[in-house]
């Protein structure tokens, strides 16, 4: 097992990794920007290093500074969390050069699944269904020719992307031509790689992902699915497990497909295989694989009782998985709401300020993952995520009742948040009936979806 882990991240995920490391008896090294020097994860870590000014490009994305901190501290592993450098082949390469273990997949698996077009080809070869789509599209004529065969709507997607960046939906030729260069430009800006490809777009599909874990000894398991269909601009807002639309046979089939995809990638560690599911036909299609721990991993932890971050660290240290597929049991239902520092009344514009009042909910079945405390300053440099509220119950009805109670209790003073927005959304008739899809939120906000 490792002796000391450098946590190359900030906020709630840095705290999550720190706590898992402590339970494993490991020392921790926190890195921070100048504006984060008083953050909770910094105060709780065994050692700390400032890696640069506030802007992420000069601090949390500064690979030389991160490696220098790890070397000076004598760390033997780096955990990247999610976001920032979690899916950076360059960081992994540099870790290998400095005898640091990267807590994540191997280099080739990361590169393979990070290239969305190559990932499609890889899983297709092992019988995992993929949407009609293309390899890299280099010109508008090629895109229009594909549309002429497969029709609209189509999704333009960044080959090296994720997180909703470089994605555009085209409903006709004019859309396709207009979005083509925009998507390429955004992909280049976000990922340093302007390649894009096309996929058939299913406007009323469900976004269902399977949590997978694999070790270096050939063992691969899945820990059930999460339904992440409640999104805004391709960014997830609410996640739950299990999905209300999957029957036992569909769940088994999709889980086996997720395992085949994971094996095909030669993958080790925690990852997520994402699918689009068409509830009308029952068909499912591979979307992508995220080669990291996900924001929404607590949902799977609540229904399985397995600590994914501790297991991720053990696997990276060379240990075999601590459980088999048969030992994984889904118990009850869990829901997660992401609480962001955003103003829903102003188009979800970021809200900055100092937290002067804070009350976090508790009680049966409630978990809150957050780095917030009174006096915390919400900065303009980073993602707007403030907290994740997770509710667990014997069934979906109890989980949703507990979530509503938790959101009523929660108070965050000093910035605008999405707490009330979540309460209203969870109270809609469509959500209560489980009749949601990836474009549901936009329809609800625009008033074209029923309230009850």
pLDDT digits (tens, 9 = 90+) for 346-389: 999 999 999 999 999 999 999 999 999 999 999 999 999 999 99
pLDDT score of 252: 97
Can you tell me which residue has the tokens 């890696």?
51
Those residues with Cβ within 8 angstroms of residue 76's Cβ, 6 or more apart along the chain or in another chain: 2, 3, 4, 5, 99, 100, 101
In the sheet where 168-170 sits, what is the strand order?
A: 168-170, 154-158, 196-200
Contacts of 340 (CB under 8 A, 6+ apart): 348, 384, 385, 386, 417, 418
- Structural contact between residues 161 and 149, judged by C-beta atoms closer than 8 angstroms: no
Q: Which residues are catalytic?
A: 292
Tokens of 228: 């992440």
Confidence at residue 163, expressed as pLDDT on a 0 to 100 scale: 65
Give the pLDDT of the chain (452 residues) as one tens digit per residue.
999 999 999 999 999 999 999 999 999 999 999 999 999 999 999 999 999 999 999 999 999 999 999 999 999 999 999 999 999 999 999 999 999 999 999 999 999 999 888 999 999 999 999 988 888 888 888 889 888 988 999 989 888 776 677 888 999 998 898 898 888 888 888 888 888 889 888 878 999 999 999 999 999 999 999 999 999 988 999 999 999 999 999 999 999 999 999 999 999 999 999 999 999 899 999 999 999 999 999 999 999 999 999 999 999 999 999 999 999 999 999 999 999 999 999 999 999 999 999 999 999 999 999 999 999 999 999 999 999 999 999 999 999 999 999 999 999 999 999 999 999 999 999 999 999 999 999 889 987 554 43
d(CA 335, CA 139): 42
Please give the model's pTM, rounded to 2 decimal places.
Answer: 0.91
Over its C-alpha atoms, the chain yields an Rg (Å, rounded) of 21
Q: Collect all residues with Cβ–Cβ distance below 8 Å to 349 and sequence separation of at least 6.
A: 342, 343
Residue 8 CA to residue 31 CA, distance in Å, equals 6
The domains found in the chain, sorted by start residue, are 4-103 (3.40.50.20), 132-200 (3.30.1490.20), 206-446 (3.30.470.20)
Over the range 166-178, which residues count as b (16 or more CB within 10 Å of their CB) and which as e?
bbbbbeeeebbee
């Amino acid at each position: 097992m490792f002796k000391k882990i450098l946590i190359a991240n900030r906020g709630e995920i840095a705290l999550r990794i720190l706590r898992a490391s402590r339970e494993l008896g490991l020392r921790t090294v926190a890195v921070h920007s100048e504006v984060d020097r008083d953050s909770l994860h910094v105060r709780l870590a065994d050692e700390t290093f400032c890696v640069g000014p506030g802007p992420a490009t000069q601090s949390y994305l500064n690979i030389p500074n991160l490696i220098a901190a790890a070397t000076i501290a004598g760390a033997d592993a780096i955990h990247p969390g999610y976001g920032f450098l979690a899916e950076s082949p360059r960081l992994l390469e540099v870790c290998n050069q400095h005898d640091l273990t990267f807590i994540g997949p191997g280099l080739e698996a990361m590169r393979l699944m990070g290239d969305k077009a190559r990932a499609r080809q890889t899983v297709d070869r092992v019988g995992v269904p993929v949407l009609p789509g293309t390899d890299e599209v280099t010109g508008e004529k090629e895109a229009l020719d594909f549309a002429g065969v497969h029709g609209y709507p189509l999704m333009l997607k960044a080959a090296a992307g994720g997180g909703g960046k470089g994605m555009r939906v085209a409903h006709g030729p004019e859309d396709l031509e207009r979005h083509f260069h925009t998507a390429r430009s955004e992909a280049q800006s976000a990922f340093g790689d302007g390649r894009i490809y096309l996929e058939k777009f299913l406007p009323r599909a469900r976004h269902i992902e399977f949590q997978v874990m694999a070790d270096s000894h050939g063992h691969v398991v899945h820990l059930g699915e999460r339904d992440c269909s409640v999104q805004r601009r391709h960014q997830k807002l609410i996640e739950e497990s299990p999905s209300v639309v999957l029957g036992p046979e569909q769940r088994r089939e999709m889980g086996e497909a997720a395992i085949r995809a994971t094996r095909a990638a030669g993958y080790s560690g925690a990852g997520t295989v994402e699918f689009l599911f068409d509830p009308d036909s029952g068909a499912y299609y591979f979307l992508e694989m995220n080669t990291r721990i996900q924001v929404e991993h607590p949902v799977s932890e609540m229904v399985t009782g397995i600590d994914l971050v501790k297991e991720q660290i053990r696997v990276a240290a060379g240990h075999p998985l601590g459980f088999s597929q048969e030992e994984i049991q889904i118990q009850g239902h869990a829901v997660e709401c992401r609480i962001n520092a955003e103003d829903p009344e102003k188009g979800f514009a970021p809200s900055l300020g100092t937290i002067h009042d804070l009350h976090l909910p508790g009680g049966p079945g409630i978990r809150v993952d957050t780095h917030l405390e009174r006096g915390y300053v919400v900065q303009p440099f980073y993602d707007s995520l403030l907290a994740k509220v997770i509710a667990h119950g014997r069934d979906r009805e109890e989980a949703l009742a507990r979530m509503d109670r938790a959101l009523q209790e929660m108070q965050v003073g000093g910035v605008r948040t999405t707490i009330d927005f979540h309460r209203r959304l969870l109270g809609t008739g469509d959500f209560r009936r489980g009749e949601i899809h990836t474009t549901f939120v936009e329809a609800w906000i625009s008033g074209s979806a029923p309230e009850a």
